[in-house]
């Protein structure tokens, strides 16, 4: 067997594979002999079928299959030994021209070659948000906690700050939904005026447009789907079934112990400090995700290289579940080009900076995750045998291994960007972060 490569340009090449009779004949003969032993042909006993008849009936199909086997093996071996970095898979170029009645064959394959390029993570400056919990947020969280752990006092008439339980109905949208909400959730002045002074047993007609401070509350309280929730503009009837005033819990040691355990928090200042710590820990995850997204977008935009576009479009057209037209393949390529570019960039970064996840790292990550989960359920000192046993079970699950590997890969890449990218730290409150980062 002989394989030669002809470069068309830096991104495209053609492989020519010459297969001679000696490369496949022994395999074909072996398969046909086995067919002779096992085939069922009317008029002949199993194992006594003339070889000529076996060759006539099965010879061409076996020949094609065995030639393709040695061909694929040779291709993979060549690509590996020559260390060719190809995109997609080799595409047959002269498949329809093969004369299977001959003894020697010449196959041609198109190759799409990965481009050569450099990645500069220190290029464009990226904002790294440090999200802080401000006094307003802390005060609101304390208020929410006090409400949550406070007492409900039953009433007959609605006043500001009360909680209302009732059933919303509408024939137009087929709504019949029981819900509980606070008058503080109501944004519309007309709707609030209609509720204030209403009594248990009353039915109040309300316009939904602008009723709640957040349109998503239409989904929550009225039971409409997500698309209908935005800009919903109908009339609904509310049959009031309960009115309750929530008496806020006192900020005392009993409440602190209920929230965090005995003696861990002893004052309102310590409560706010704990809320701030927990909130900013969660904010850090959102900030990290934003940073990762921004660095990725910047790298895609600023790392310039060409791709074998026409080859990839042909590859997309030929290798899916169904063959695509030229227009469909072009559209699919345009949808996936950005992702492909980042795959190449990320692969280069990982290879050049040793960012691959090792099995030992995966195992340690699994152990730490298990210990953290066990601690949540009060088991703070598990034995090594328990942890090892659970770890082994997790690592025997392929889907779980893939999920954990993805987590570790992302964490490694994020740490690399934090250490090497040109970052500008910007301190910001959560509300301002949402407006600025996702406007």
SS3 227: helix
SS3 state of residue 206:
strand
pLDDT above 80 for 47: no
CB 114 within 8 A of CB 86: yes
Phi first, then psi: what are they for 63, rounded to 5°?
-55, -50
| DSSP of 48-59 | ---HHHHHHHHH
DSSP structure string for 120-151: -TTSS-EEEEEEE--HHHHHHHHHHHHHHTSE
Number of H helices, E strands in the chain: 14, 11
pLDDT reported for residue 230: 87
Sheet holding 86-92, edge to edge: 2-7, 12-19, 105-113, 86-92
For residue 87, give the nearest of 324, 315, 299, 306 by alpha carbon.
315
d(CA 196, CA 193): 5
Check: CB of residue 350 under 8 Å from CB of residue 356: yes
Residue in the block written with tokens 């002074």: 197
At 176 the pLDDT is 95
| % residues pLDDT > 90 (the chain) | 78
Of the listed ranges 77-86, 87-96, 137-146, the least confidently predicted one is 87-96
% of the chain surpassing 70 pLDDT: 99
Q: Are 48 and 38 in contact (CB under 8 A)?
A: no
Phi and psi, residue 259, nearest 5°: -80, -45
> Element (H or E) spanning 290, and its range?
helix 268-302
State if pTM tops 0.85: no
pLDDT of residue 71: 94
The model's pLDDT over 6-35, given as tens digits with 9 standing for 90+, comes to 999 999 999 999 999 999 999 999 998 888
pLDDT reading at 48 higher than 80: no
**Distance from C-alpha of 178 to C-alpha of 220, rounded to nearest angstrom:** 10
State the Cα–Cα distance between residues 322 and 320, nearest whole angstrom: 5
Residue 55: its pLDDT value, please? 86
Express each pLDDT in 195-231 by its tens digit: 999 999 999 999 999 999 888 899 999 999 988 888 8
Q: What is the pLDDT of residues 281-317, one digit of tens each?
A: 999 999 999 999 999 999 999 999 999 999 999 999 9
- Residue 322 banded pLDDT, cuts 50, 70, 90: confident
Can you give the pLDDT at residue 160?
Answer: 93
pLDDT at 40 over 80: no
Give yes or no for residue 127 having a pLDDT over 90: yes
pLDDT value, residue 416 = 96
Alpha helices (runs of H) in 20-134, residue ranges in sequence order: 21-38, 51-81
Residue 277: burial class (beta carbons within 10 Å; 0-12, 13-18, 19+): exposed
Tell me the backbone φ, ψ of residue 122, rounded to 5 degrees: -95, 15
The pLDDT assigned to 44 comes to: 75
Output the pLDDT for position 267: 95
Burial pattern 120-143, b for ≥16 Cβ within 10 A else e, equals ebeeeebebbebbbeeebbeebbe
Question: What Å distances lie between residue 295 and 132, 288, 406, CA to CA?
Answer: 22, 10, 18
The answer to whether residues 113 and 222 touch, using CB atoms and an 8 Å cutoff, is: no
CA atoms lying within 13 Å on the CB side of residue 414: 17
CA distance 71 to 24: 9
């Amino acid at each position: 067997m002989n394989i030669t490569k002809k470069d068309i340009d830096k991104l495209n090449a053609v492989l020519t594979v010459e297969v001679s009779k000696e490369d496949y004949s022994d395999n074909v003969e072996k398969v046909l002999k086995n067919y002779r032993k096992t085939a069922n042909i009317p008029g002949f006993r199993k194992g006594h079928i003339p070889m000529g008849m076996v060759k006539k009936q099965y010879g061409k199909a076996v020949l094609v299959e065995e030639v393709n086997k040695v061909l694929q093996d040779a291709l993979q071996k060549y690509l590996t030994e020559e260390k060719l970095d190809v995109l997609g898979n080799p595409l047959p170029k002269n498949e329809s021209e093969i004369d299977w009645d001959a003894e020697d064959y010449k196959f041609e394959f198109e190759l799409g070659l990965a481009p050569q390029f450099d990645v500069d993570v220190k290029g464009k400056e990226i904002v790294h948000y440090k999200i802080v919990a401000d006094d307003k947020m802390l005060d609101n969280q304390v208020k929410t906690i006090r409400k949550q752990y406070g007492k409900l006092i039953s009433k007959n008439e609605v006043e500001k700050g009360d909680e209302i339980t009732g059933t919303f109905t509408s024939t137009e949208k087929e709504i019949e939904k029981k819900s509980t909400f606070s008058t503080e959730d109501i944004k519309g002045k007309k709707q609030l005026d209609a509720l204030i002074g209403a009594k248990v047993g009353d039915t109040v007609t309300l316009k939904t447009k602008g009723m709640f401070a957040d349109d998503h509350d239409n989904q929550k309280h009225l039971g409409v789907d997500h698309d209908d929730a935005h800009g919903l503009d109908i009339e609904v009837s509310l049959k009031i079934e309960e009115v309750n005033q929530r008496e806020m819990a006192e900020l005392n040691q009993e409440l602190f112990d209920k929230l965090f355990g005995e003696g861990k928090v002893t004052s309102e200042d310590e409560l706010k400090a704990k809320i701030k710590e927990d909130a900013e820990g969660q904010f850090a995850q959102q900030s990290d995700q934003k940073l990762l997204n921004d660095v990725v977008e910047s790298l895609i935009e600023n790392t310039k290289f060409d791709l074998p576009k026409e080859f990839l479009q042909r590859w997309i057209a030929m290798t899916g579940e169904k063959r695509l037209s030229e227009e469909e393949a072009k559209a699919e390529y345009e949808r996936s080009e950005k992702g492909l570019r980042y795959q190449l960039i990320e692969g280069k970064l990982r290879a050049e900076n040793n960012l691959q996840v090792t099995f030992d790292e995966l195992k340690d990550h699994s152990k730490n995750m298990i210990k953290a989960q066990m601690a949540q359920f009060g088991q703070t000192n598990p034995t090594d045998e328990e942890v090892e046993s659970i770890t082994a079970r997790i690592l025997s699950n392929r889907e779980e291994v893939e999920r954990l590997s993805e987590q570790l890969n992302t964490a490694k890449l994020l740490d690399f960007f934090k250490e090497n990218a040109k970052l500008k730290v910007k301190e910001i409150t959560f509300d301002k972060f949402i407006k600025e980062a996702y406007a």
